[in-house]
Copies of this chain bind each other. A is one copy, B any other.
């Protein structure tokens, strides 16, 4: 019945139910889903999304909204046969840009890389870059409140959303596609849907704030005596260059050593390895400034004071890309190395080194010889705190214990057990372990208020 209605509504390209057609939608970056849904709806318009939702609501069938399937927490997997996947990928239109408004309207299915390309001819940017940008879609990036390398400078996805269009769980459409920075006409609904992981509504379109593109850059890799030195020098760079600091990544020795060993094309610019590294990028639109010279001054001062043991500045875009590649390939390097155990967490910036040191001691006590790959975003305290097995060994079946120890420390440090990847189906139980009764209750109330029949993405954020 529902199938017939959906096929009639959406046409043969808009409704997929053959196993081989559905299969690709059951894989994302977190793995493979074993529950096969009724089918995959691929509406091409907001009206069709709304009609699809109404049909499902009437049939009491669950809807799993899906973007580019780059999530890492199984946030868009069906958990029940009695469900459909709703893919936004056909709603991929970038509207013409009015440059003076410093914003752009897009469909939820626009891929982030596609938007970057559409902005290429302008001198405006959407300052959001992450490893998945070739596949990740705007709707999913908003629904998961994506972060990335520049969040400490430009904010997270929620800070870039001016307007939204959302199909609600009853199939009504909320048109909040306003092109306004200032809009205090009631509760900030546009912000509430950011990070709601498909629980409160299906994002179908957005107006995104754009920024002027920087005209000049300077990118440097620094070697430091330890991670605390990276924390301190990171602060120094932010105080020196202020708003010009747009990237500030730290890497521990083990993470870079593994990546260098596994990925042949990486170029290590120093003679000897160091205990910690800092990758910094400054950028500005202001004409007539020499950022490379200013960065040289800052690094020279750091070397002289012994805060840095070595440093290199990219002299051209090729070198700049090579430095960033050292950072960007860390996950791939660790993947190639073998079994791993991941944690996407955040703590206050000043406590990054202390957190890593304490966690590493915990882990060593549990699994002697365990290798800690710690890297991430110094500007916002977001640590990708990952384990690789001891060289030639294994985790001794202690993955759960290892993770529990990390998350307990996160809580102790006032951090977040889900920094930028969200909760999905993998971390909702974990979040429940740490959030207060009042916080869980507020989230439950929100879910019930917006999605009373639990038709949208059940099992995520609040059960």
Chain A residues close to B by CB (< 8 Å)? 98-103, 123, 144-145, 147, 151-152, 155-156, 158-159, 168, 172-176, 178-189, 191-192, 194-196, 199-200, 211-215, 231-232, 235, 238-244, 282, 284-291, 293-294, 297, 346-350, 377, 379-382, 414-423, 431, 434-436, 438-439, 441-443, 445-446, 448-450, 461-462
CA distance A240 to B288 in the complex (A): 11
Taking a contact as CB atoms under 8 Å apart, the answer to whether B189 and A191 are in contact is no
Q: Which of B185, B195, B232, B349 meets A187, CB within 8 Å?
A: B195
Q: Which of B98, B297, B380, B449 meets A182, CB within 8 Å?
A: B380
A377 nearest CB neighbor, chain B only = B182
A293 nearest CB neighbor, chain B only = B288
A146 nearest CB neighbor, chain B only = B184
Taking a contact as CB atoms under 8 Å apart, the answer to whether B288 and A438 are in contact is no
Residues of B within 8 A of A211 (CB): 242-243
Number of copies: 2
**Among the interface residues A155, A168, A188, A442, which one has the most CB atoms of the partner chain B within 10 A?**
A442
Taking a contact as CB atoms under 8 Å apart, the answer to whether B414 and A178 are in contact is yes
Which 7 A-B pairs give the minimum distances between C-beta atoms? A242-B285, A212-B242, A181-B380, A100-B350, A449-B449, A183-B416, A191-B191
A246 nearest CB neighbor, chain B only = B243
Taking a contact as CB atoms under 8 Å apart, the answer to whether A348 and B420 are in contact is no
Residues of B within 8 A of A98 (CB): 348, 350
Q: List 7 A-B contacts (CB under 8 A).
A: A174-B439, A185-B431, A186-B439, A187-B446, A213-B242, A215-B242, A446-B449
Taking a contact as CB atoms under 8 Å apart, the answer to whether B184 and A423 are in contact is yes
CA distance A239 to B286 in the complex (A): 9
Residues of B within 8 A of A158 (CB): 188, 191
Taking a contact as CB atoms under 8 Å apart, the answer to whether B294 and A184 are in contact is no
User: Nearest Cβ distance between residue A9 and chain B, in whole angstroms?
Assistant: 21
Residues of B within 8 A of A155 (CB): 155, 159
Taking a contact as CB atoms under 8 Å apart, the answer to whether B183 and A346 are in contact is yes
Taking a contact as CB atoms under 8 Å apart, the answer to whether B180 and A346 are in contact is yes
Taking a contact as CB atoms under 8 Å apart, the answer to whether A286 and B241 are in contact is yes
CA distance A173 to B382 in the complex (A): 27
Residues of B within 8 A of A423 (CB): 184-186
A445 nearest CB neighbor, chain B only = B449
User: Nearest Cβ distance between residue A237 and chain B, in whole angstroms?
Assistant: 10
Given A214-B242, A286-B286, A291-B286: A349 touches B100 (CB 8 Å cut-off): yes
User: Nearest Cβ distance between residue A351 and chain B, in whole angstroms?
Assistant: 8
Taking a contact as CB atoms under 8 Å apart, the answer to whether B244 and A285 are in contact is yes
A434 nearest CB neighbor, chain B only = B185
Taking a contact as CB atoms under 8 Å apart, the answer to whether A285 and B243 are in contact is yes
Taking a contact as CB atoms under 8 Å apart, the answer to whether B188 and A194 are in contact is yes
